[in-house]
Amino acid sequence: MVFQEFELIEYLPVLDNILLPYRISAALRLEPDVRQRAARLAGDVGIGAKIDDDVGRLSQGERQRVALCRALITEPDVILADEPTGNLDPANKGKVLDILLKHGRRCDATVLAVTHDHALLSRFDRTIDFQELNVSYGD
C-alpha cells in the first residue's frame, strides 16, 4: 500500500523505511538482493543519495517516494495507492507513475490508484469515476 499520509517511521533512515515489510513479516527474508533492490528503487525515484538520511528530514515529495519504494520492495501482486503522486512536481510525478505502472506490467500486478488528478487517468487501462457511480446508482 502507498498511504496518502505515507506512514513512515520518523526516526528511521530511508533504507530502513523501505525495508520495513521485511522487518515485520516472518514470511519475508531480508537477503542481500533485497537491499540491492531497495537501493535501486530509491535511485529510480530520485532519492538514492538520501538512502541513509532520516525520513523526518525529507521533503513531502521525497517522503512520498520512500513510501512508493516501500510498497514496491516486496514485488506485490496488488498495489493500493492513495494519491501516489499528490505531493510531487510534474517531472517526479511522471517518473513515479512510470515506475508504478512498469512494476504492474513486469510483475503482472494490479495497480489500484485513487487520485483527484485527472491528468493521470489516461495512463491507466481502466478508470472509475465515483461521481458517475453516484449519479448511476443514486444516493
Residue 139 has pLDDT above 60, yes or no: no
Question: Does position 113 have pLDDT exceeding 80, yes or no?
Answer: yes
Q: Give residues with Cβ within 8 angstroms of 55, minimum separation 6.
A: 8, 9, 10, 12, 13, 14, 17, 63, 66
Q: Can you give the residue ranges of every domain in the chain?
A: 14-137
Q: What is the CATH number of domain 14-137?
A: 3.40.50.300
Looking at residues 37-54, what average pLDDT do you find? Answer: 96
What is the rounded average pLDDT of the residues 40-49?
96
Q: What is the mean pLDDT of the chain?
A: 90
Average pLDDT over residues 117-126: 87
Percent of the chain, pLDDT > 70? 96
- The answer to whether residue 28 scores a pLDDT higher than 60 is yes
